[in-house]
Amino acid sequence: MPNIVFVSPNKYIQGKNALYDLGKYIKELGSKSLIIADGIVWDITQASINESLSSASIDYHFVEFNGEASNNEVNRIIQEGRVNEIDLVIGVGGGKTLDTAKAVADDLKVKIVIVPTTASTDAPTSALSVIYSDEGVFESYRLYNKNPDLVLVDTAVIVKAPPRLFASGIADAMATWVEVRATIKSNGQAMAGGKTSIAARAIAQACEETLFLYGIPAFKAVQQGVVTNHVEAVVEANTLLSGLGFESGGLAAAHAIHNGFTVLDGDIHHLTHGEKVAYGTLVQLMLELHPEQEILKYIDFYRKLGLPTTLQELHLENASYEDLIKVGEASIQPGETMSNLSSDITAEDVANAILAVDILSKQTIK
C-alpha cells in the first residue's frame, strides 16, 4: 500500500506586528542572513526588520529581487550569497520572491525563513518553488527535501498590501479542497510525494469552510487597511491551511489550467496567480460535472471579491478556439497535475470547459 506523506514548515508564526519578533525567532538559525525582497517591499519592511535584527545582533546582506522566479535570477542571487558567506536566507515579499529565496537557500545548503508580505498565494509554507522563464512562462516545479525552517506572517503588513492581492490569495486557497478531493477520488499523488493523509484532507476542508464563512468580511476589512479576527482567520487559511492542504493533499486541474494560461500572450499576464487559478477552479468544477447551482456558488463568491469569472475579465475575450486548445494542451502534458483529476481529459475537453464557464457566468450577470 502506498505511503501517506504529510509535510509542514518547522514553525509558523502569525500576528499583528510579528515582524518585530523576527530577530528573536531566527537567532538560533543563523548569524549572517541574506535578505531577498523587491524594492517596494523593502521600503515597507526595512525599518522593522532593521530594528528586529539589530536588537538580536544579527548581521545581514540585502539583495533586491528583480521580479521573476527564473533560474537566471536564482543563480544571480546565489553568487551574492557565496561572496557574502551567508548562513541563512530570508525571503520577504510575494510568491515569486519567496520561491526564489527557497531555491537560493537550497543551492547554498542553508536554512530558509519565509516572510510573506501579502496573503496572495499558498507558496510560503511549501517545500517547492514554481520556476518561470525570464519572460514569465511556467517552466517547472522545483521540489526540496524540507519545508521552510520558519514562516513568519505579520498581519499588520498584510493589510497594507493592495486588497486585490488578498482576494487573489483567497482564490488560490479556494482551489485547495477542490483539488484535494479530486486527488483523493483518483487515488492520485500529493505534491509531497505520497497519498493524501486524513490530516491533509481535514485541513483542506477547513480551508474552504473558513473562506466561505469569513472571506468577504475579511476582504472588506483589508480594503480599509485594518486587522480583524476575520482577517486573521483568512490569512491563516490563505497561507497555512492552503499551503499544507495543497502540498500534502494534491493539486489537480485548477493549477494545471493556470499553468496552461501562461503559454498565451497578451494582457492575461497582468493577472495574478490567484486570479488565473480562480478561473481554473471553475473549469475544474465544470469538468467534474458539478451541478449548476454549485458552480454558481463559487462564481458569486468570486465576483464579490472582484475575481475573474468570464473570458473578458481574463483578457481572453478575443482568444481563438485554437488558443484555448493550446491552454488545454499545456495543462495535460506529462507531469502536469491534471492527472490527479483524470488522465482521460483532452485538450478539447479543457477548451470546451473554459468556454462553458464563460457562458454560465455571463448568463448570470445582471
Residues with a known catalytic role = 172, 255, 258, 273
Rounded Cα distance, 179 and 248, in Å: 11
Written in H, E and C, the secondary structure of 68-83 is CCCHHHHHHHHHHHHH
Give the torsion through C-alpha atoms of 227, 243, 170, 314, to 10 deg. 140
- Cell reading at 197: 493523509
Q: Where are the alpha helices (DSSP H) in the chain?
A: 22-26, 39-55, 71-83, 95-108, 155-158, 163-186, 198-223, 229-236, 242-249, 253-261, 273-287, 292-304, 321-331, 347-363
Rg (CA), the chain: 20
DSSP code at position 195: B
Question: Which of 6, 53, 46 minimizes the C-alpha distance to 29?
Answer: 53
CA distance 284 to 338: 9
